[in-house]
Amino acid sequence: MASFHFLPVLLLLQLCPFILAHTVVPKNRSFEVDYDNNRFLKDGLPFSYVSGEMHYFRIPKVYWRDRLEKLKAVGCDTVCTYIEWSLHEPSPGNYIFTGEQDISEYLNIAQELGLNVLLRPGPYICAEREFGGFPAWLLTKNPTMKLRTSDPTYTGYVSKWLKVLMEKIQPHLYGNGGNIIMVQVENEYGLYDVHDADYLTWLRDQFKSYIGDAAVLFTTDPDSSSAVSRGRIPGVFSTIDSNPTNDAMDMFRELRKIQPNGPLVNSEFYVGWISYWGKPLSKRDTAPIVNSITSLMQNNISFSMYMLHGGTNFGFTAGSGTDSHYISDLTSYDYDAPISEAGDLTSKYEAIRDTILKNRNLSSPLTIEKVKQKGNYGKLELKPICTLFSCPIGIDYPNSEYPVTFEALGQYNGFVSYSTQLEIQPQNRSLLVANIRDRAIVYLDDIEAGTLQYTYTNEFPLSPSYQKGQYLRLLIENMGRRNFGLLSDCTKGLVDNATVDGNILKNWEIKGYPFNPEDIAALEGLEPTENVSFPAIFRGQFTLQKDEEPLDTFVSMENWGKGIVFINEYNLGRYWQIGPQVTLYVPACYLQKYPAKNTVTVLELHNSNPGVSVTFLDTPIFVDPKKML
């Protein structure tokens, strides 16, 4: 009898994927804009949402459910996320939707928790990410290509990408049985210096061809008159982003001039703000946020808090912003958000939760641990294992008469070394690098002579000891392509010729240091050495206690200069003594349990204090910024 019952069950399990794929979605499952009555309709009933933004690509996958549960517990019924093109297509035609890039799993977890989704697939997303989420290989396809326009080279690649992406997204659309209720077209196009209406309508039609009526298309732009009008797309629902205000209706005065009817939505309601290297850490007071949320909810206005949880720009994923000079985004994307970088609940979170639940006359649907225990693992001594230029890592590129950019080399991140012999008889001893992106350390015979940085004065007086025949080396770091503005200066490296006393330097030896996992693996087995000069690589190992579960922790780089840190094979990101960030977040899932050893690898570009060590702390450290190096 047991086998008699088992066979139908087994057959049913085998048929499940087919049955689910062909399930008929109820016809009343719909999400739409009711312009006549200034509201959304979800399954025919009036609806407004409270959303929080958090990005799957800034959170280790094993923490997705934890962070989404905390989003729900604050009172949100909706989560908002960008999709980052560069992570899913790191090289042309190489698509990745597994592991940390498994966007379907992120959406599924949200649906299991009863959360709606606002999806922001770009293709440009800004988000303080490298190149605004664009894959850097786009820069190699056509030197005259105009991003975010109807340029056929650009739209050709966007079209290919959207076909792959949206076919994966379609099952998750609300009208198809999923939880995506709205899909954004482009991103804050009203702020872009180029306005290509043909591009916007083309992109609208691209999305419409995949979405149909299964979700609502929307735009997001700042609440100024110029932004909302320039970003508007015919046939697409318009929303705004804004800082907190006591009277929520003030946010929408300009929007109402171009969209007189329909529900009001603040798609980026700022509960925190961006921070940069060398700039004070951004902070937002809680009281105005709470007052503004009260006003939004009392006026039945939907909103999404940016960011409810920021997370981390691991590796080389941080972008750069706009200022009088080039400024690079921090590795941390804590954003002064209600949920901290490590997933802890702040006092801001509690105030926002109490306000939302009070206005909805609800109690929190989940009980959440406020702060999880962190690892205070103490000090770890590191030993130098090699000078970068003599390490068994890197890529030897062909010599070139004139400089070659990162992109032309096919290397998009990390460092590239440009070396040449100085055949010029010294006169004024003036090195001029007209266009360097983003930061170069200057060496004469591999002895550091100084630094140059993009948008700063790049004329450099060579040492009086300079002699004809010496070797000049420029070690150039890509510190993050722009994520905002025209994106017209996103090629990296030695972009133009370098000169000494007006004479063009030629015959460059070029070597790349992408610091990919293969590079880290190649360092295994190197013994410590006493004879090391900077830039140098340091290593150390530690083991957790027996039966001790790994905990989240923060590695302090307080006594170091500038560089990058790896835990095992994971690139934690950049550190820089100019601040304000001192510690780097280490998720517990990056650590190995006893008896395995955890390896810390540090590339230090400049120097470190005697007694080289790092310290693992249970709290992060941010300080007042220092003078730029």
Catalytically annotated residues: 188, 268
d(CA 338, CA 306): 10
Give the sheet arrangement for strand 553-556, strand by strand: 378-381, 613-617, 553-556, 583-586
Compute CA distances 544 → 365, 531, 587, 588, 601, whole Å: 36, 31, 14, 11, 17
Comparing C-alpha atoms, which of 337, 325, 328, 333 is closest to residue 289? Answer: 337
CB 529 within 8 A of CB 537: no
CB 222 within 8 A of CB 242: yes
DSSP letters for 575-613: EETTSSB-EEEE-GGGS--TTSPEEEEEEESS-B-SS-E
Q: Is 275 helix (H, G, I), strand (E, B) or coil?
A: coil
- The two beta strands, 180-184 and 216-222, are parallel
- The two beta strands, 50-53 and 302-306, are parallel
259-282 burial by CB neighbour count: b if 16+ within 10 A, else e? beebbbbbbbbbbbebbbbbbebe
Q: Directed axis angle between helix 152-169 and helix 103-112, to 10°? A: 40
d(CA 426, CA 532): 30
Q: Give the H or E element holding residue 42.
A: strand 39-42
DSSP letters for 61-84: GGGHHHHHHHHHHTT-SEEEEE--
d(CA 1, CA 145): 69
Going by the DSSP 8-state scheme, the letter that residue 9 receives in this structure is H
Q: Is 400 exposed, middle or buried (0-12, 13-18, 19+ CB in 10 A)?
A: middle
d(CA 186, CA 147): 12
Half-sphere exposure of 491 (CA within 13 A, CB side): 21
Cβ neighbours around 489 below 10 Å, total: 17
